[in-house]
Amino acid sequence: MKDIDIVEHDERLKNEFRRELVDRGVLNVTLQALDPLHAEAVKPPHVAWREFQGRIGRDASAKLATVPLHSQSTRRSRSKVMWSSVAGAVSAVIVAFLLTVGWQSAIHNIHTHMSGRVSTYATAMGQHSTVTLPDGSTVVLNVASTLEVPTDFGVGSRTVKLNGEALFTVVHKSGKPFTVLAGESKTQVLGTRFMVRRYDSDSTAMVAVQEGRVNVNSIIVNAEEKVVVAHRGVISRETVSAGQFTFASGILTLEGVSLLEAIPELNRWYNADIRIGDPGLENEYIKARFASGSLTDLAEIFELLFNARIVSAGRVLTLYSKGNEVKG
Amino acid sequence: MPYNHSNLPPVGSDQLVEAFRRGDVDAFEQWYRLLFVPLTKFARQLCGSTDLAHDLVQDVFVSIWTRRAEFNIATSTAAYMYGAVRRRVLQEHRHLAVVQRSEKIAESTGVTFGLGEAPASPDQLTENSAVRTKIVAAINALPQRQRLALTLWLEHDLSTAEIAKALDISDRVARRLLEKARNGIREALADLVVES
């Protein structure tokens, strides 16, 4: 009894102190100052593991053969079949999943998720939605996004699956990490605010933290940082700008991307079909904030930004440089 | 409860340890991947070199794998691993030399703190660097043991009891180290309020 009190007290003290540092905006500075070499990259675990295997050599492979029941291939293929038959997820999810959690609990999670039912929340293009989960955590779903929540969410674990982009505000639950699976990324937190993005058209997943910190594929990501996750794990880590999170308040921020890159974003945001009629426009850069609005507004913005002329036909907007448009 | 490396729950963690004691290299791999980065960061804080930290943590894993049948831990495996890494670092260097070296690095890097993304306005810049300088100075002023305890507590999310095991001190001493470290930082923050 007394032990439990001490543990809870310790955790409360820690949360209070973290909160103090966050409120003063110095949590990151503190953690960095504690690790004077923080700027030096630590070897990724999979690289270190290969070296480890080299050192233990024959020993490991010999031992592997003695435990066929738990051999890697058996476990992975079985999980993959179950997962894809129900959710149609790519195998990368399973691999990333198994690589980043304890194998015992991973199998357990997949079983319960797949045997239990899943509630699906989805937004169409041009549409936003806020979902409140049973634990009080909220998820702002950006346009054209899907969130899968198991009906037993919060019973054993708090795990959801995302396709698209969403901002999560997670309520702290002692001992119950909140997990978001999206493509090759697995983000785990206790209580914090962060966003995850992984549309089908993206080749990587991105996780950006607004408050607190999260664990993405075993890498700790602090507030105001974002990481990009590819098949081989986390491939970049950088400072994130506030614009990354504005979609949750109804503003799409594009910061210095080419028009070519911006168009899929704008199409999803406005439920539009924007086309470039003049290749010269493709490499024009956009730095702008778009509120939710009509296509007419968008056409006006484009005219302003690029000195472009817009030809619209239904939902299709075609952009031409002024003076270069093809008459027809 | 810890979540960065010990997101294996206590029960799951027992099962994991049980599995690799039987020689299950997959189970060991999961465990290795969870702990490698946090342990390396901890080790480099002790030895002042990321390269050396990589090697020493690798040594610890090799040694544990080799003697896995004897591996028998009743409580936190994470605390045990931090302790094992700490002992390995100490074995590598004479304690004093290690401490001096990491303190020297802390001082030299502390000065260059504040570089990074340029904030939006000049006002913000001054304010941020003032805060940073203050915090960095406060942390550098903490004795090494307090810094270690605070790192394990905040960054590695160990409990006080786990920190005590990792640093081979009593729970009471661990609590006191943390309290002093917190107070040191709070004082620095209080100064900032007065100045502004």
Q: Determine, for residues B186 and A20 on separate chains, whether the beta-carbon distance falls below 8 Å.
A: yes
Residue A293 DSSP code: -
Q: Determine, for residues A37 and B48 on separate chains, whether the beta-carbon distance falls below 8 Å.
A: yes
Q: What pTM was estimated for this model as a whole?
A: 0.45
pLDDT digits (tens, 9 = 90+) for B116-166: 233 333 333 344 677 788 888 899 899 989 999 999 998 888 889 889 989
Q: Which of A20, A40, A52 sits opposite B50 (nearest CB)?
A: A40
Average pLDDT value over all residues in chain B: 74
Residue B44 clears pLDDT 50, i.e. is over it: yes
Residue type, A309: R
The strand pair at A316-321 and A273-276 is best described as parallel
- How far lies B91's CA from each of A156, B87, B98, in Å? 42, 6, 10
Q: Rounded to an integer, what distance in angstroms lies between the CA atom of residue B178 and that of residue A316?
A: 62
Residue type, A277: G
The pLDDT assigned to A207 comes to: 94
Q: At what angle do helices A72-87 and A103-115 cross, to 10 degrees?
A: 30
Q: How many CA atoms lie within 13 A of A235 on its CB side?
A: 11
Q: Which 3 state secondary structure label does DSSP give A320?
A: strand
The pLDDT assigned to A60 comes to: 45
ipTM: 0.75
Q: CB distance from B149 to chain A under 8 Å?
A: no
The strand pair at A308-313 and A251-258 is best described as unpaired
pLDDT digits (tens, 9 = 90+) for B76-119: 677 888 998 998 888 876 544 544 555 555 444 433 222 223 33
In angstroms, what separates the C-alpha of B93 from chain A's closest C-alpha?
A: 18
The pLDDT assigned to A7 comes to: 66
The pLDDT assigned to B185 comes to: 92
In angstroms, what separates the C-alpha of B46 from chain A's closest C-alpha?
A: 10
The pLDDT assigned to A100 comes to: 29
Q: CB distance from B190 to chain A under 8 Å?
A: no
- Of the pLDDT bands very low, low, confident and very high (cuts 50, 70, 90), residue B174 is very high
Using alpha carbons, select from B156, B144, B11 the residue that is nearest to residue A31. Answer: B156
Question: What would the two tokens of residue B158 be?
Answer: 């160990």
Percentage of chain B lying above the pLDDT 70 cut: 68
| Portion 163-202 of A in contact with B at CB < 8 A | 174-175, 177, 188-190
The pLDDT profile of chain A, 328 residues, written as one tens digit per residue, is 445 566 678 888 888 898 888 877 788 888 888 888 888 888 888 888 888 888 887 444 433 333 222 223 333 333 332 323 333 332 223 222 232 232 223 222 222 233 357 888 888 888 888 888 888 888 999 988 999 998 888 887 899 999 999 999 888 877 788 999 998 899 988 778 899 999 988 888 999 998 888 888 888 888 888 988 887 778 888 888 888 888 887 788 887 788 888 888 888 888 888 888 888 787 777 777 777 667 777 777 777 777 778 888 877 888 888 765 454 4
Among B5, B18, B29, which would you mutate to test the A interface (most chain A Cβ atoms within 10 Å of its Cβ)? B29
> A131 forms bridges with which residues in the sheet?
A139
C-alpha angle A87/A91/A76, rounded to 5°? Answer: 105
The pLDDT assigned to A54 comes to: 85
The pLDDT assigned to A182 comes to: 94
Segment of B28-42, B109-123, B174-188 carrying the highest mean pLDDT: B174-188
Q: Which 3 state secondary structure label does DSSP give B177?
A: helix
